[in-house]
Amino acid sequence: MGTPQDSNRTQNNRVGASTTLAYLDPQYWDERFSTEEHYEWLKDYSHFRHLIQPHLGPSSSVLELGCGNSQLCEELYKDGVTEITCIDLSAVAVENKQKKLLSKGLTEIKVLEADMLDLPFSSECFDVVIEKGTMEVLFVDSGDPWNPRPATVTKVMKMLEGVHRVLKPDGIYISISFGQPHFRRPLFEAPQFTWSVECSTFGDGFHYFFYTLKKGRRSPDDKRSSGEKLERPSINLYQDELEGEDYLFRTNLDELNC
Ligand SMILES: C[S@@+](CC[C@H](N)C(=O)[O-])C[C@H]1O[C@@H](n2cnc3c(N)ncnc32)[C@H](O)[C@@H]1O
């Protein structure tokens, strides 16, 4: 598709999935990571650094969900965040990332094989949880995005409940996503969560969404989950977004601002 992300790959090493359903298969990721060195889903850190920086400090403890072979944790480390834990379901991704970090002397960053639907951490132990394109995986068999399958909703809520649990009382969850607010907000704003939900966009052409969920900051008078009916947007994708893997992740709906 000619996106900047494609430059991450060697030409003969294009590991594609013909359907997004493959993303639900842990073996797909293991095979992919056994040959692919680096690929950034959505955009790399430089594109959203200005949005993430205000939420991080040198003493922040950060959990990254589904790190894959992204360089996000290295970029955060370079920016002064040293207490970072990355998880991924793929043993291959974890092993490769551990080796890479070791070769760069970044031994403070922890990388663990773990499922984001069953986080192996005690409650209230992270200042920030970040995920870039990882929650997306849970939506690939969601069916109609306006009315996702109950099984999808159950998995997403399990993940969000885990994130909410491991965040400190004033912790922040950052979700960097293709998912438009009209699909994400009803889930993020479920009544059991105490976080406020803010959304920004970044990127040229197609907008990517940067959600900031601040635990304990939910306004008592917010109108979440009011059952308000949302209008369906029309289809309107940029032609150069129509090819390539990132597109596979998106629903066939247009982009909307937050
Ligand atoms: C679309 S990639 C995103 C990778 C990376 N965050 C990035 O921005 O380039 C999704 C990643 O999530 C991982 N993953 C899928 N399901 C997961 C789960 N249940 N728990 C943890 N990681 C998972 C995959 O192995 C893969 O590395």
Pocket test for ligand 1, best of 24, 38, 117, 137 (most atoms within 8 A of CB): 137
How many angstroms separate the Cα of 26 from the Cα of each of 89, 117, 179?
A: 7, 14, 22
How much is the average pLDDT of 240-256?
Answer: 49
Kindly state if the Cβ of 133 falls inside 6 Å of ligand 1. yes
The residue contributing the CA closest to ligand 1 atom 11 is 66
Report CA(227)–ligand 1 centroid distance (Å). Answer: 31
Query: Which of these, 213, 254, 245, lies nearest to 23 by C-alpha position?
Result: 245
Instruction: Name the CATH superfamily, with its identifier, for domain 16-220+238-249.
Output: Vaccinia Virus protein VP39 (3.40.50.150)
- 61 and 73 in contact (C-beta within 8 Å)? no
Report CA(255)–ligand 1 centroid distance (Å). Answer: 23
Residue 67 has pLDDT above 60, yes or no: yes
Nearby residues of 219 by Cβ (< 8 Å), 6 or more positions away: 196
Kindly state if the Cβ of 88 falls inside 6 Å of ligand 1. yes
Distance CA 129, CA 89 (A): 16
Query: Which of these, 176, 213, 181, 207, lies nearest to 194 by C-alpha position?
Result: 213
> Which residues, listed in sequence order, are joined to residue 65 by a DSSP beta bridge?
87, 131
Query: Which of these, 70, 61, 53, lies nearest to 128 by C-alpha position?
Result: 61
Sequence spans of domains, the chain: 16-220+238-249
Least confidently predicted of 27-31, 142-146, 175-179: 142-146
Kindly state if the Cβ of 93 falls inside 6 Å of ligand 1. yes
Least confidently predicted of 54-58, 77-81, 118-122, 232-236: 232-236
